[in-house]
């Protein structure tokens, strides 16, 4: 078995540097994927910086990888060498805990994230067979990586919260996740509003699927939206004036965050009680749901808008993401 050539952070907060390692013999249920492209997600930055406290170093980030399968373990039945697949947040799940048995393998109690097992900023990535999901015919593989974390993260709430085509949906934060959420909401049939602080993006956001674009910094326009939305999906990882957003929900409305806000969310109980509103969170999705999302994307021509960087410019790519200038997702290519 040849070494994997990757880019790793040797310690928390470090710049990535070339790092080679021997992955050992392939396990019975594992597959090796030759990485052709890998999206760069905000979670990569958070993990490199150990913001969530479970980083392990040297760390090879990258959890939106696309590539061809080069080797399969002896027990792999669902995949074959040469097939093009994508790999997201999860690399491994036990398949016998309650979440695994009930179809939420992304919540496996002993699951291993791809970044922890060694991720996709590399020439090869190794994962458990169920977590290598085939790219459907007709999908552009090179730009598909961001669907495997950013995409499934914003797709899952549509399924879990049973959104209806008659619903009015708003998306907060139009970046890597939000630009996909707008496309999903439009294809779902909903009336779509994009909350943004950069009104210069208005035309682009409408092209992505927004019927309306609202300036969230403008108190007057926020007031006009009172009681409008059935569902608000927040993709930002900063604290906002949550009560002002809750006021824009209708009766029984929900605000779901998929952005890992680092500070406690200040939510007065009365902003929920009045109107029976709720606030919640949402994670990624099972392999089956990822496959369904890919099929949905192919049917509705939903695509990540990406900017490409060569893999060896990984540090520049991370800086570009951190600067907030990425439109809308950065993808590294080998």
Q: Which is nearer to Zn ion, 108 or 246 (CB)?
A: 108
Considering the rule CB under 5 A, would residue 332 count as an interface residue with Zn ion?
A: no
Mask for 95-114, x = binds Zn ion (CB under 5 A): --x--x-------x------
Work out how close the CB of 251 gets to Zn ion at its nearest, in angstroms, rounded to a whole number: 33
Mask for 108-147, x = binds Zn ion (CB under 5 A): x---------------------------------------
Work out how close the CB of 93 gets to Zn ion at its nearest, in angstroms, rounded to a whole number: 5
User: With contacts defined by CB under 5 A, how many residues of the chain interact with Zn ion?
Assistant: 8
Work out how close the CB of 104 gets to Zn ion at its nearest, in angstroms, rounded to a whole number: 9
CA distances for 118 relative to 102, 114, 275, 334, angstroms:
27, 6, 46, 17
Q: Which is nearer to Zn ion, 43 or 90 (CB)?
A: 43
CA–CA distance, 265 with 298 (Å, rounded to integer): 36
Q: Which is nearer to Zn ion, 127 or 190 (CB)?
A: 127
Considering the rule CB under 5 A, would residue 297 count as an interface residue with Zn ion?
A: no
In three-state secondary structure terms, 120 is: coil
Work out how close the CB of 25 gets to Zn ion at its nearest, in angstroms, rounded to a whole number: 23
User: Does an H or E element contain 20, and which?
Assistant: strand 16-21
Q: Which is nearer to Zn ion, 44 or 191 (CB)?
A: 44
Contacts of 254 (CB under 8 A, 6+ apart): 161, 230, 231, 232, 277, 278, 279, 280
Q: Which is nearer to Zn ion, 94 or 141 (CB)?
A: 94
CA–CA distance, 204 with 196 (Å, rounded to integer): 12
Q: Which is nearer to Zn ion, 105 or 183 (CB)?
A: 105
Contact 69, 85 (CB under 8 A): yes
Contact 248, 225 (CB under 8 A): yes
User: Does an H or E element contain 65, and which?
Assistant: strand 65-72
Q: CA-based Rg of the chain, rounded to a whole angstrom?
A: 20
Work out how close the CB of 224 gets to Zn ion at its nearest, in angstroms, rounded to a whole number: 34
Q: Which is nearer to Zn ion, 41 or 170 (CB)?
A: 41
Considering the rule CB under 5 A, would residue 65 count as an interface residue with Zn ion?
A: no
How far the first Cα of the chain sits from its last, in Å, is 20
User: What is the DSSP pairing of strand 229-234 with strand 168-172?
Assistant: parallel
Work out how close the CB of 272 gets to Zn ion at its nearest, in angstroms, rounded to a whole number: 28
Contact residues toward Zn ion (CB under 5 A) are: 41, 43, 93-94, 97, 100, 108, 149
């Amino acid at each position: 078995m040849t070494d994997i050539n990757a880019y790793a952070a040797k310690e928390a907060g470090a710049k990535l540097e070339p790092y080679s390692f021997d992955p050992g013999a392939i396990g019975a249920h594992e597959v090796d994927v030759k990485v052709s492209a890998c999206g760069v997600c905000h979670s990569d930055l958070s993990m490199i910086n150990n913001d969530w406290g479970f980083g392990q170093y040297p760390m090879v980030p990258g959890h939106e990888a696309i590539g061809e399968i080069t080797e399969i373990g002896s027990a792999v039945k669902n995949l074959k060498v040469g097939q093009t697949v994508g790999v997201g947040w999860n690399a491994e799940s036990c398949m016998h805990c309650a979440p695994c048995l009930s179809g939420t393998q992304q919540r496996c109690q002993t699951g291993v994230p791809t970044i922890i097992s060694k991720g996709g900023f590399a020439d090869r990535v190794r994962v458990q067979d169920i977590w290598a999901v085939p790219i459907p015919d007709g999908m552009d593989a090179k730009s598909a990586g961001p669907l495997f974390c950013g995409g499934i993260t914003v797709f899952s709430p549509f399924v879990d919260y049973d959104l209806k085509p008659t619903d009015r949906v708003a998306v907060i934060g139009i970046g890597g996740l939000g630009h996909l959420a707008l496309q999903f909401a439009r294809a779902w049939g909903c009336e779509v509003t994009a909350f943004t602080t950069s009104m210069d993006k208005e035309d682009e956001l409408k092209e992505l699927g927004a019927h309306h674009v609202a300036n969230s910094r403008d108190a007057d326009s926020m007031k006009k939206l009172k009681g409008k939305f059935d569902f608000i999906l927040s993709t930002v990882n900063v604290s906002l004036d949550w009560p002002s957003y809750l006021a824009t929900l209708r009766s029984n409305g929900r605000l779901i965050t998929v952005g890992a806000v680092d500070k406690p969310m200040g939510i007065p109980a009365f902003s929920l009680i009045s109107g029976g509103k709720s606030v919640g969170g949402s994670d990624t999705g099972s392999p089956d749901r990822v496959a369904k999302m890919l099929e949905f994307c192919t049917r509705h021509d939903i695509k990540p808008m990406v900017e490409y960087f060569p893999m060896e410019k990984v540090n520049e790519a991370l800086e570009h993401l951190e600067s907030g200038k990425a439109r809308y997702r950065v993808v590294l290519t080998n």
